[in-house]
Structure 1
Amino acid sequence: MNLGQVDLNLLVVLDALLREQNVTRAAERLHMSQPATSTALARLRKVLGDPLLVKHGRYLQLTPRAEALVDPVRDVLATIEQSIVKPPGFDPAHDRRTFGVIASDYVGMMLIRPLLGRIGGLAPNLSLELAQISGHFLRLLERDEIDLAILPESLAEGERLGDCASVPVLADRFVGAVWRGHPLAGGSLPAAALAEHPYLAFAPPDGFSLIEEDLDKAGISRRVEATAISFVTMPFLLAGTGLVTIIPERLGRQVADAAGIVLLEPEFEIRAVRESAYWHSRRNSDPGHRWLREQLVAVVG
């Protein structure tokens, strides 16, 4: 391979193709036309002596050579971006910057909303691109494709996050919740009530529910009548019903009046809510990223 044949723009296209495994989506990511992206792919195949993307049914998949290039290409571009492209400092009052953040709607309400209120007056040209937690969060962190991922620590435990740094940002506990006209209103929440009354379960798209996992381990049966994928919507589903549910306490206290609910002290144990912000350690020295982390910690404080 002649190194002179590989320019930086070609590496950027290669990175997009390796990420998307789709020429059209790679072109959209790069704001290029599809023919131009296809031409770049043809050049890359010639330079690297490998097809890189091959048809597998209706889709394209990476060749073994392409799989082996994913991390090295990402590392090279990230190093260029962090060391050369980005300015050496960050002036929040004037610099323009967009940060990608993964977080649940619960974190959005408890942390991101006050964060936006804080940075709005300090950094008028800064924006956040928010995305929900998905099963791809680990890959996004490993490949340094996201600025921050705010995750339950129990979800991140055991994952390969060796190249990531983190800081705790949210602690909460779970409590019961019912409509204020419910027979249980004004009392506590015994374990038996989850089987005696219709139960609203938390069932997020990723399938991981700390609450349901702990209830299963404790052998507490539930009469599930409905499920919800969002903590934020759960309190608002209770009014006028006999439903019983379990939600984070801070969220419950914030929306209790608007949702017409009361909170109940559970008579059984559920692990506390602990969330941390994770990012690739390559961004530790990025002044803009460091400034954003400082604002997040200030909101937590």
Structure 2
Amino acid sequence: MATDPLRNLDLNLLLSLDALLEERNVTRAAARLGLSQPAVSAALRRLRRHFGDELLVRTGNRYDLTPLATQLRPNTTTALVGVRRVFEAEPGFDPATSTREFTVVASDYSTTVLGDHLATELAREAPGVRLRFQLQTHGDVDQAPESLRHVDGMVLPHGFLQDLPAVELHTDGWVLVVSADNEAVGDAITMDQLAEMPWVVTHHAPTAFTPAIRQLSMIGVEPDVHVVTESFLPVPFLVAGTPRVALLQRQLANRLAEPAGVRILDCPWDVVPLKEAFWWHPAHRADPAHGWLRRMIKHAAVRLDQAD
């Protein structure tokens, strides 16, 4: 009979392996785990014996992952998430007493306009629950559904993902923002002006344009991009005091226009609305805690629509 490889293996090593592969440094891994450096060094030695591989190799002043360690990194994260979910499992989910942590991947826009309502819902119904917002990256979107295995879900507009379960949330519009002191632009802006003005854009990459920017290009206006940011919150501040223009979600623009010193203008084309949804992996379907989270996110979206 084959020997179970887990019989003599301390599963705490999985935590050390995950930290070491992520940090690529024993000292930083120890700090992340709340352990001493000698303890993590000892764990690394055990892991090296187990795998028959160095895992971390010194290159100049840094450590790099070996090919095996590179292969192990995503598998380790998946395994660790699975272990945590096993020990978080409850015969029933009681939000009033639960201390579970939920991780939601979202842009800074979604965290700002939806997150406050969601945090309010959770604080009222589940005071012991922890809500973690993880900043969305291109990789999270491009590598879905695999990336969704490691979190509870992702807030993302339609048009990027398909064939995954989703909860419909709220609809927002797009507006243009210009500096409050931009005298070259009146109360309305024309398509010709947009073609000539310098732009601030977000996520300027082949697969990462906002839907409204893609639409603008499709109708013949190629933005003259002067500034690129990976976040939405800085956009109005990068426009203020300059001749630049930018697209921004209406609900976010309404919150930031006055403190940033910009004016909000309607788009001079029939701009496609932003339809947000909460996307999640089918593996969560039978989890009562996840079902509760989905309902809370939907309630938060309703509160957002009512407040708009």
Cα contact 1:175–1:247 (8 A) shared by 2: yes
Shift of 1:114: 1.1
1:169 — aligned with what?
A: 169
One-letter amino acid matched to 1:132:
L
Cα contact 1:135–1:206 (8 A) shared by 2: no
Instruction: After TM superposition, list the pairs within 5 Å mapping 1:1-301 onto structure 2.
Output: 3-70=6-73, 72-137=75-140, 142=146, 144-154=149-159, 156-157=160-161, 165-178=165-178, 182=183, 184-187=185-188, 189-196=189-196, 198-204=197-203, 208-210=208-210, 211-222=212-223, 230-235=231-236, 243-253=244-254, 263-301=264-302
- Alpha carbons of structure 1 residues 59 and 214: separation in structure 2 relative to 1, 3 Å: farther
Structure 2 residues not aligned, in runs of 5+:
303-308
- Alpha carbons of structure 1 residues 230 and 51: separation in structure 2 relative to 1, 3 Å: closer
SS of equivalent to 2:267: coil
Range moving further from structure 2, 169-178 or 203-212? 203-212
One-letter amino acid matched to 2:277:
S
Tell me how far apart the structure 1 counterparts of residues 132 and 237 of structure 2 sit (CA, whole Å): 26
Tell me how far apart the structure 2 counterparts of residues 94 and 193 of structure 1 sit (CA, whole Å): 57
Range moving further from structure 2, 204-213 or 123-132? 204-213
Cα contact 1:177–1:264 (8 A) shared by 2: yes
Tell me how far apart the structure 1 counterparts of residues 52 and 241 of structure 2 sit (CA, whole Å): 66
Tell me how far apart the structure 2 counterparts of residues 99 and 130 of structure 1 sit (CA, whole Å): 9
Give aligned pairs, total.
294
CA deviation digits over 1:153-196, x for unaligned, max 9?
44x448xxx8x643333432322334667564443x32112145
TM (norm. structure 1) is 0.77
SS of equivalent to 1:201: strand
Kindly, what percent of the aligned residue pairs are identical? 33
Structure 1 residues not aligned, in runs of 5+:
none
Cα contact 1:53–1:61 (8 A) shared by 2: yes
Cα contact 2:16–2:40 (8 A) shared by 1: yes
Cα contact 1:190–1:268 (8 A) shared by 2: no
Tell me how far apart the structure 1 counterparts of residues 138 and 175 of structure 2 sit (CA, whole Å): 27
Cα contact 1:166–1:276 (8 A) shared by 2: yes
Shift of 1:300: 1.7
One-letter amino acid matched to 1:299:
A
One-letter amino acid matched to 2:146:
E
SS of equivalent to 1:192: helix
Cα contact 2:105–2:135 (8 A) shared by 1: yes
Cα contact 2:55–2:68 (8 A) shared by 1: yes
Shift of 1:74: 4.3
2:305 — aligned with what?
A: none
Cα contact 1:173–1:272 (8 A) shared by 2: yes
**What is the RMSD of the two structures over their aligned residues, measured on CA atoms?**
3.6
One-letter amino acid matched to 1:29:
R
